[in-house]
């Protein structure tokens, strides 16, 4: 399993519709998301364990998937060998 952050944006005008749609079609995921709407950030955020980006995106109702970003997350451990992506050397 991999860890992802799912970022699903909607407009202020679509805010009620977004929550309603989550309730009706993805009620089990509604409480997994953190919502920025009260701070004028009309975005839902969730940390999801999934096999890949596509599976993580399935946590969002189809109506909002085209505006959804899925980012694979990683932890860096200073005790592990070098990080090829950032060209660092291990200890």
User: What ranges do the domains of the chain cover?
Assistant: 2-72
pLDDT band at 89 (very low <50, low <70, confident <90, very high): low
pTM of the model: 0.80
Say if CB 79 and CB 91 are below 8 A apart: yes
Beta strands per DSSP E along 1-91? 2-9, 34-35, 43-50, 68-72
Greatest C-alpha distance within the chain: 52
Lowest mean pLDDT among 13-22, 32-41, 76-85: 76-85
42-81 confidence digits (pLDDT tens): 999 999 999 999 999 998 888 889 999 999 999 877 777 7
Per-residue confidence (pLDDT) for residue 90, from 0 to 100: 53
What is the rounded CA–CA span in Å between residue 70 and residue 8? 9
Q: What is the DSSP letter of 59?
A: T
């Amino acid at each position: 399993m991999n860890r992802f952050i799912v970022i699903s944006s909607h407009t202020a005008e679509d805010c009620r519709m977004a929550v309603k749609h989550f309730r009706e079609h993805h009620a089990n995921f509604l409480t997994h998301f953190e919502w920025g709407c009260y701070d004028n950030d009309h975005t839902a955020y969730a940390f999801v364990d999934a096999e890949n980006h596509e599976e993580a995106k399935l946590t969002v109702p189809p109506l909002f998937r085209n505006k959804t970003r899925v980012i694979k997350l990683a932890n860096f451990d200073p005790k592990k060998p070098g990080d090829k992506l950032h060209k660092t050397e291990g200890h």
